[in-house]
Chains A and B, each alone.
Chain A
Amino acid sequence: MFNTLGVVVEIAQALLALAVAPLLVGLIRWVKARLQNRRGAPVWQPYAELRKLFGKDTIVSSNASWIFRAAPFVVFGSTVVVALLVPVFVTPLPFNQVADLFALVYLLLLGTFALALGGLDPGSAFGGMGASREMTIASLSEPAIALAMLSLALGAGSTNLGEIAARTIAHPTDALSPGHILAFAALFIVMLAETGRLPVDNPATHLELTMIHEAMVLEYSGPALALVEWASWLKLTVFLTLAANLFVPWGLATSLAAGAIAMAVAATVAKLVVLAIGLAVFETRVAKLRLFRVPELLAVSFVLGLLAVTSSFSLR
Chain B
Amino acid sequence: MTAAFALPLFWLMVAGYAIASAGLVMPTRRLVRMAVAIGSVAGGAGGLALACLVLWTDASLTIEAPAVLAAAGGWLVHLDRLGALFLALVSGVAIPVGLYAIAYMRSYEGRYSTRWMAFTFGAFLLSMSLVTVAANAVTFLLCWELMAVSSFFLVVTEHDRQASVDAGLWYLAMTHAGLLALMAAFFLLGSGSADGSGATFAALRSSAGLLPSETRAAIFLLALLGCGSKAGMVPFHVWLPRAHPAAPSHVSALMSAVMVKLGIYGLLRIGLDLLGGGPAWWGTLLIILGAASALTGVLYALVADDLKELLAYSTVENVGLVLLGVGAGFLFLSLGQPEAAMLALSAALLHLINHAAFKGALFLSAGSIVHATGTRDINLLGGLITRMPWTATTLLAGSMSIAALPPLNGFVSEWLLFQSFLPGVASSRASIAGLLTLGVGALALTGGLAAATFVKAFGVTCLAIPRSPGAAHAHESPGPMLAGMALLAAACPLLALATIPTLTTITGALAGVAGLPSIAPALHVGVTLRTPTGMATMSPVAVAMVLVAVVAGTWIVLRLIARRPVHVGDTWGCGRIGQSPRMEYTSTAFAEPLRRVFDQLYRPVDDTAVGVVRPESPYYIESMTYQTTIHPWFQRVLYEPVVQGVERVATWTRALQSGSVNAYVGYIVFVLVILLAWVIGF
Contact = CB atoms under 8 A, between A and B. Distances in A.
Interface of A: 54-67, 73-74, 76-78, 80-81, 84, 95-98, 100, 102-103, 106-107, 109-110, 112-113, 116-117, 120-129, 131-133, 135-136, 138-143, 145-147, 150, 153-154, 157-160, 163, 218-219, 222-223, 226-227, 291-292, 295, 302, 306, 309-310, 313, 316
Interface in B413-450: 414-415, 418-419, 422, 425-426, 428, 430, 433-434, 437, 440-445, 447-449
Contacts of A120: 455, 459-460, 463-464, 585
B579 interface: yes
Given A103-B538, A222-B564, A147 B437 contact: yes
Interface string B376-401: 00000011011000000000100010
Given A98-B537, A107-B406, A122 B458 contact: no
Contacts of A107: 406, 543, 547
A67 to B, nearest CB: 6
Contact of B451 (A113, A133, A219, A223): A113
A126 B573 CA distance: 9
A122 B571 contact: yes
Interface of A is mostly: helix
B594 interface: yes
B441 A139 contact: no
* Those 5 A-B pairs whose CB atoms lie nearest each other, nearest first: A128-B585, A139-B448, A123-B464, A142-B448, A146-B444
Contacts of A55: 562, 564
B260 interface: no
B654 interface: no
Contacts of A158: 534-536
Contacts of A292: 593, 596-597
Interface string B531-563: 000111111001100110011011100100110
A76 B558 CA distance: 12
Contact of B568 (A62, A291, A313): A62
B597 A136 contact: yes
Interface in B32-52: none
7 contacts: A56-B564, A62-B571, A74-B551, A97-B542, A123-B465, A309-B437, A313-B433
**How many of chain B's residues touch chain A, expressed as a range?**
35 or more
B539 A98 contact: yes
B636 interface: no
A222 B569 CA distance: 14
A226 B564 CA distance: 13
Given A103-B543, A141-B448, 8 more contacts: A62-B569, A81-B547, A109-B404, A117-B458, A133-B593, A139-B445, A147-B444, A159-B536
B387 to A, nearest CB: 11
A306 B534 contact: no
Contacts of A139: 445, 448-449, 451-452, 594
A121 B569 contact: no
Select the residue from B406, B451, B452, B569 with max chain A CB neighbours within 10 A.
B452
B297 to A, nearest CB: 14
A58 B567 contact: yes
B566 interface: yes
Contact of A80 (B396, B444, B550, B579): B550
A97 B554 contact: no
A59 B459 contact: no
A109 B558 contact: no
Interface in B459-514: 459-460, 463-465
Given A73-B555, A117-B458, A153 B422 contact: yes
B445 A132 contact: no
A66 to B, nearest CB: 8
B140 to A, nearest CB: 38
B400 A81 contact: no
A73 B547 CA distance: 11
B535 A65 contact: no
Contacts of B546: 81, 84, 95, 98
A127 B572 CA distance: 10
A162 to B, nearest CB: 10
A157 B415 contact: no
A96 B558 CA distance: 29
A113 B566 contact: no
Given A218-B572, A219-B571, A150 B425 contact: yes
Contacts of A113: 400, 403, 405, 451, 455
B554 A76 contact: yes
B592 interface: yes
B565 interface: yes
Interface in B597-654: 597
Contacts of B418: 102, 146, 159
Given A128-B585, A295-B597, A135 B444 contact: no
A121 B464 contact: yes
B584 interface: yes
B415 A102 contact: yes
A150 B534 contact: no
Contacts of A124: 571-573, 579, 583-584
Contacts of A77: 547, 550-551, 553-554
Contacts of A154: 422, 425-426
A160 B583 contact: no
A59 B585 contact: no
A91 to B, nearest CB: 14
A66 B566 CA distance: 13
Nearest to B385: A65
B589 interface: yes
Contacts of B596: 292
B528 interface: yes
Contacts of B442: 143
A160 B419 CA distance: 11
B437 A306 contact: yes
Nearest to B383: A63
Most buried by B among A57, A58, A77, A309: A77
Given A57-B566, A61-B570, A116-B455, A125 B585 contact: yes
A70 to B, nearest CB: 9
A63 B451 contact: no
Contacts of A80: 550, 554
A298 B583 CA distance: 31
A61 B550 contact: no
A67 B396 CA distance: 10
Nearest to A115: B455
